[in-house]
């Protein structure tokens, strides 16, 4: 028995999210079906994070056990070959110790949220960013974001269905960068934490965009945070702007 870890990239548009569902296509099902073609008695994979319906990944990490002692590069190619034409790709593959766990061994997760400001419909980035028609106030959003960084009770920014034992988390980074596009402008929100609550990123980005639009003042972010009241949260940002960008481990199993 050998344990493997993979880095996956996927376009979440076609899936009901990471987790296997009875009646809808999931990323987990697509991956497990691909691996089953290589070892028919294969059981299941474990992911670092369960991305919601429509959420994308540039760096989801999964682990699973195989009977055969595959070369990690042969396994990468074989799974990619079985996945076609799904918009899911294995970017990296490595053999890991039997105690490695994609979710529980992770020490840091990075999410990226993309907002595009433009008046015409999106063409090449349709379904890959949240389109907003009015420009955002970058200074106000950055000021609002500063209240969220650190060790806090994030009750106001988690889904009422969140199953985490505690709403207290440490947000290490919330950086907002803007870039000019050939048509329009893009804001990239980068968020880093050891772990996140359910819908925490989309709740925080949605509320910060309300600040950027002038519907909330930066100091309202502080008030919403200390209120510990979900009903005070701004609108949830849509799933299609969100990317699970990176999951980190120590030591890094993918380091060469």
> Rg of the chain over CA atoms, in angstroms?
19
Residue 87: count other Cβ atoms within 10 Å of its Cβ: 16
Rounded Cα gap, residues 42 and 7, in angstroms: 19
Q: Which of 120, 160, 163, 166 binds its own copies (CB under 8 A)?
A: 120
Asked if residue 103 lies in contact with residue 249, where contact means CB atoms within 8 angstroms, the answer is no
For residue 135, the minimal CB distance to its own copies (Å) is 17
Q: Which of 183, 214, 215, 229 binds its own copies (CB under 8 A)?
A: 183
For residue 33, the minimal CB distance to its own copies (Å) is 16
Asked if residue 87 lies in contact with residue 54, where contact means CB atoms within 8 angstroms, the answer is no
Q: Please identify, among the stretches 51-59, 63-71, 96-104, 248-256, the one whose residues bind its own copies according to the rule CB under 8 A.
A: 51-59
By CB under 8 A, tell whether 185 contacts its own copies: no
Residue closer to its own copies, measured from CB, 86 or 216: 86
By CB under 8 A, tell whether 255 contacts its own copies: no
- Please count the CA atoms within 13 angstroms of the CA of 91 that sit on its side-chain side: 14
Q: Please identify, among the stretches 84-92, 191-199, 203-211, 228-236, the one whose residues bind its own copies according to the rule CB under 8 A.
A: 84-92
Q: Which of 14, 52, 97, 229 is catalytic?
A: 52
Phi then psi for residue 120, to 5 deg, are -80, 155
By CB under 8 A, tell whether 84 contacts its own copies: yes
Rounded Cα gap, residues 191 and 176, in angstroms: 9
Q: Which of 66, 89, 162, 164 binds its own copies (CB under 8 A)?
A: 89
Judged by CB under 8 A, the chain residues 126 through 155 that form the site for its own copies are: 126, 128
By CB under 8 A, tell whether 58 contacts its own copies: yes
Residue closer to its own copies, measured from CB, 181 or 227: 181
Rounded Cα gap, residues 11 and 51, in angstroms: 11
Active site includes 52? yes
Q: Please identify, among the stretches 3-11, 25-33, 138-146, 222-230, the one whose residues bind its own copies according to the rule CB under 8 A.
A: 3-11
Residue closer to its own copies, measured from CB, 199 or 240: 240
For residue 242, the minimal CB distance to its own copies (Å) is 13
Rounded Cα gap, residues 65 and 57, in angstroms: 22
By CB under 8 A, tell whether 90 contacts its own copies: yes
Q: Which residues are catalytic?
A: 52
Binding region for its own copies (CB under 8 A): 9-11, 56, 58-59, 76, 80, 83-84, 87-91, 120-124, 126, 128, 182-183, 245
């Amino acid at each position: 028995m050998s344990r493997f870890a993979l880095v996956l990239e996927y376009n979440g548009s076609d899936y009901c999210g990471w987790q296997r569902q009875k009646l809808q296509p999931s990323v987990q099902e697509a991956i497990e079906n691909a691996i089953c073609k290589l070892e028919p008695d294969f059981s299941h994979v474990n992911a670092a994070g369960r991305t919601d319906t429509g959420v994308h990944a540039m760096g989801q990490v999964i682990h699973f056990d195989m009977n055969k002692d595959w070369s990690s590069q042969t396994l990468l190619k074989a799974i990619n070959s079985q996945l076609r034409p799904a918009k899911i790709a294995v970017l990296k593959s490595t053999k890991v110790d039997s105690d490695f766990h994609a979710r529980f061994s992770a020490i840091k997760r990075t999410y990226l949220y993309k907002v595009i400001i433009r008046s015409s419909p999106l063409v090449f980035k349709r379904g890959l960013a949240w389109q907003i028609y009015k420009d955002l106030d970058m200074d106000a959003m950055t000021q609002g974001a500063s209240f969220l960084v650190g060790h806090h009770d994030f009750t106001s920014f988690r889904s009422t269905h969140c199953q985490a034992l505690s709403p207290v988390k440490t947000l290490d980074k919330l950086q907002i960068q803007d870039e000019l596009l050939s048509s329009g402008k893009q804001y990239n929100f980068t968020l880093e934490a050891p772990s996140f609550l359910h819908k925490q990123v989309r709740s925080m980005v949605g509320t910060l965009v309300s600040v950027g639009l002038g519907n909330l003042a930066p100091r309202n972010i502080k008030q919403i945070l200390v209120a510990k009241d979900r009903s005070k949260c701004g609108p949830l940002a849509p799933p299609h702007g969100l990317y699970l960008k990176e999951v980190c481990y120590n030591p890094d199993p993918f380091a060469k």
